[in-house]
Amino acid sequence: MTTSDARLRAEPGSFRDPANRVFHAGDQVLRGLGRQAAADWRALSAADFFTALLAEGKVCGTTPVDPATLPDTGWTTVLRHERIPFVSHPYEWSFTMLQDAALLHLEILRRALPAGFTLKDGSAYNLQWRGAGPVFIDVGSFEPARDGEPWAGYRQFCQTLLYPLLLQAHLGLDFQPWLRARVDGIEPDQMRRLFGGTRRLLPGVLTHVHLHGAMQARNARSSTADVRAQLRAAGYSRDLALATVRGIEKLVRRLDRRADGSHWVDYQRTCGYTAQDRAEKERFVEAALAVAGTPRLVLDLGANDGRYARIAARHAAQVVAVEQDPAVVDTLYRALRDAGERRILPLVMDLADPSPGGGWRGVERASFAARARADVVLALAVVHHLAIGCNVPLPAVLDQLVAYARPGGRLVVEFVHPEDAMARRLLANKPDGLFPRYRREEFERLLAARCRIDRRTDLPSGTRTLYEAVVGG
């Protein structure tokens, strides 16, 4: 191990399970296991169902590592995990992404139970993405199943996966703000207030919202041991647990996102670009990415239908495509998933209100800014939305775009002139004279103060300019 790898860093989001802990050494992702967790791992690693899940890529790659080759970790058993290209949070996912994550979680549990294992957690945070493919990352969540004991992760699964899906499917409410507000998800009490009257009869609501909530209230003063004893006395078995998982899986599979209109779904047809503009823009982006070599990470901010994210994926190891509209992200995700794309991760995020740090001490779930250190940042047709639409001062817009790139990274940014049709549409809703400094000359001066501008081109329409710049150059 090199000197730069020697310092161990505990993962801020891994502390709730004292039996194991995730930490980092350089680019390595490691997991220390306590005595019982180590015994469970030895049994798990020998199980056919688990080796099959690893081979299928449904569980993150995991291998044991000799602790003697590492700095002192304090653990006698250590595992090395594959590194996920970009860590995201459930409130940054679209409906179908959350649904596919839930289905993978249930599939893993369904395959574990007959082999004598269960999952002690049910959190959406135990899943991540390789592009448009979900992967289960919490190997420490597996433990031997015991007859008569319920699925310990059921409540977490409801609060972070099932309830958000029910909100979107039955009520047409975007779930992202609900999950962002509470790291532990949506409580049954909140759900019951939304699903009263005839809504109680909607699929999944009576059993997993009302009956679940009532059972929690009834057992609020009971210990976990008491509840387990009651279930064993009632004849609760592993077969019943498996039947429950299959029932939830069937419910989740049948849920669908309530369709609603979105201007941005049809953006490429309505945005006003000419064919010549679009062709020139694509050539400019392609050339900038070619100069960058093989970027480890490209951010496409305001990705819309993913046209430029797909161009970036021809050059980069990983592309994160950020778009504000959940319906647009869902459409993009489905297309990427169906194509088997593993280099583009679409995320739901408002760039004027990006994901903050959350959870314990505000660092348990890292902010988007802390996770985004890209080799190339594409900011195409977003500056005017932030500067005019959201009243963010132009210097602050550029400060944030530059902050998303690593030092020496490249920024490809589009400036929409105030006389452009889209800019005029935004300005029409603002008081006259509100943005006197929103001018191409000012933008270029501010960009040059933060970057070295390598290339500039005006699109054929004459109302938009593209820049390629090196951050800190």
CATH topology of domain 263-471: Rossmann fold (3.40.50)
What's the pLDDT score for residue 5? Answer: 46
**Residue 420 has which token pair?**
């452009």
DSSP classification of residue 135:
E
Q: Which residues contact 263 (CB under 8 A, 6 or more apart)?
A: 270
Rounded Cα distance between 461 and 49, Å, is: 58
Report the sign of the C-alpha dihedral through residues 30, 31, 35, 40, in that order: negative
Place of tokens 């006003």: 272
What's the pLDDT score for residue 1? Answer: 36
Rounded Cα distance between 457 and 414, Å, is: 10
Rounded Cα distance between 189 and 12, Å, is: 29
pLDDT digits (tens, 9 = 90+) for 137-192: 999 999 999 877 888 899 999 999 999 999 999 999 999 999 999 999 999 999 99
Pairing of the two strands 20-25 and 133-136: unpaired
Question: Closest by alpha carbon to 320, among 369, 362, 356, 272?
Answer: 369
Rounded Cα distance between 339 and 428, Å, is: 40
What's the pLDDT score for residue 229? Answer: 58
Three-class SS state of 373: coil
Taking CA 295 as the corner, what is the angle to CA 401 and CA 469, rounded to the nearest 5 degrees?
A: 40
End-to-end Cα separation, the chain, in angstroms: 32
DSSP classification of residue 211:
I
What's the pLDDT score for residue 439? Answer: 95
Q: What is the pTM of this model?
A: 0.93
pLDDT digits (tens, 9 = 90+) for 190-241: 999 999 999 999 999 999 999 887 777 666 565 555 555 555 655 567 888 8
**449 burial class (0-12, 13-18, 19+ CB within 10 angstroms)?**
exposed
What's the pLDDT score for residue 220? Answer: 58
Rounded Cα distance between 168 and 232, Å, is: 36
C-beta of residue 376 within 8 angstroms of C-beta of residue 405: yes
Question: Within the chain, which residues score under 50 in pLDDT?
Answer: 1-5, 269-270
C-beta of residue 316 within 8 angstroms of C-beta of residue 376: yes
**Residue 361 has which token pair?**
């001490």
- State how far the alpha carbon of 459 is from the alpha carbons of 267, 444, 462, in Å: 18, 16, 6
**Domain extents for the chain?**
3-81, 92-254, 263-471
Question: Closest by alpha carbon to 146, among 116, 120, 121, 111?
Answer: 116
What's the pLDDT score for residue 2? Answer: 39
Place of tokens 């992967």: 135
